[in-house]
Amino acid sequence: MPTFARPPPSTQYAQLSFPSTHVLLVTLNRPRDLNCINSQGHAELHDVWEWMDDEPSLRVGILTGKGRAFCAGADLKEWNNSAQASTSKSPMPVSGFGGLSRRKGRKPIICAVNGLCFGGGSEMIINADLVIASSLAKMGLPEVKRGVVALAGALPRLIRTIGRQRAMEMALTGRAYTAEQAERWGLINEVVSVGDCVVDGGAGGGKPDDEAVSRKVVGRAVQVAIEIAENSPDAVLVTREGVKLGWEGIGAEEATGLLNETWVRRLYEGENIKEGLKAFVEKRKPNWRDSKL
């Protein structure tokens, strides 16, 4: 494991790894439960993303799942136990489902959707910065089919991503969608073809090799993460903030003014902008420093 300013938080329900310099990979690790997230899992992931934001050497995070699911949503068994006992459900962190569905954060997170992505799983990808999905992945918001509501931040965000009518269809029908459909709607960035990861099952048809599917999808997400991490860490932080301001509904002029007032001066006073311009003049690759913004 790389050396960090502060050790990563311990996790019981997720595995942390570092597939490339500056890149954190978080793998949900409850495959038998389709990576449903329980109360402790939410708290763990909140701490992980907070740690990533504070760790100078990390620039991009990736979230994926182990087995045939990315995340099938909330732990309904835990929820049912609370409901039947008429006890309060444990509160979710302010950052939302998986520490991501309402996360503001500083650094970009890519969701590598390897398989089933329902309920809270979809709420997480709706608020992710980029989404890369397997061609076999399925996603949707089935909460209405269970008598509950997607309250982790997805509903007001979804309409800004795919529009009113599509958001209404997705949320009110509880329907499942293919990765190709979600890509056409703008919910995900890229579909990774994993047809070659299907094991021949004879007359009964083929079955996906879950590990092979995950390797392809995560591998592509790592490529994109490296592409981001090779840019100025200062410029990435400020650029992400500018895009996020607009997505949150702030007018273009107001958002530009706010970005200039709060971030641009600090960017211009940093070392990375000097290094980027100097490297361009000298026709070489920049040697970025960890961001101090």
pLDDT digits (tens, 9 = 90+) for 51-103: 999 999 999 999 999 999 999 998 767 666 665 655 556 678 999 999 999 99
Q: Could you tell me the CA-to-CA distances from 5 to 45, 56, 111, 160, 228 in Å, in that order?
A: 19, 8, 25, 37, 22
Would you place residue 109 in the very low, low, confident or very high pLDDT band (cuts 50, 70, 90)?
very high
| Helix (H/G/I), strand (E/B), else coil: 205 | coil
What's the pLDDT at 204?
53
What's the pLDDT at 81?
62
Kindly report which listed range (27-36, 139-148, 204-213) carries the lowest average pLDDT score.
Answer: 204-213
β-bridge mates for residue 133, sequence order: 113, 191
Would you place residue 258 in the very low, low, confident or very high pLDDT band (cuts 50, 70, 90)?
confident
**CA-CA distance, 98 to 41, in Å (whole number)?**
7
Does residue 119 surpass a pLDDT of 70? yes
Q: For the beta carbon of residue 116, count every other beta carbon within 10 angstroms.
A: 22
pLDDT averaged over every residue in the chain:
91
Round the CA-based radius of gyration of the chain to a whole number and report it. 20
What's the pLDDT at 80?
60
Dihedral over alpha carbons 178, 181, 183, 184 (to 10 degrees): 170
What's the average model confidence in pLDDT over 111-122?
Answer: 97
Would you place residue 255 in the very low, low, confident or very high pLDDT band (cuts 50, 70, 90)?
confident
Under 8 Å between Cβ of 92 and 42: yes
Say if pTM beats, i.e. exceeds, 0.85: yes
Under 8 Å between Cβ of 250 and 258: yes
What's the average model confidence in pLDDT over 202-229?
Answer: 89
What's the average model confidence in pLDDT over 95-117?
Answer: 96
What's the pLDDT at 17?
97
CATH 3.40.50.1370 fits 14-229, yes or no: no
Under 8 Å between Cβ of 208 and 136: yes
What's the pLDDT at 111?
98
Kindly report which listed range (76-90, 122-136, 137-151) carries the lowest average pLDDT score.
Answer: 76-90
**Domain limits of the chain?**
14-229, 233-281
Measured CA angle at 249 (ends 248, 254), to 5 deg? 110
What's the pLDDT at 27?
98
DSSP string, 76-87: HHHHHHHHHTT-
Q: pLDDT, tens digit, for every residue of 157-208? A: 999 999 999 999 999 999 999 999 999 999 999 999 998 888 875 555 678 8
Q: Token pair 């763990």 is at which residue?
A: 44
**CA-CA distance, 117 to 142, in Å (whole number)?**
10
Does residue 114 surpass a pLDDT of 60? yes
Does residue 2 surpass a pLDDT of 80? no
What's the pLDDT at 91?
75
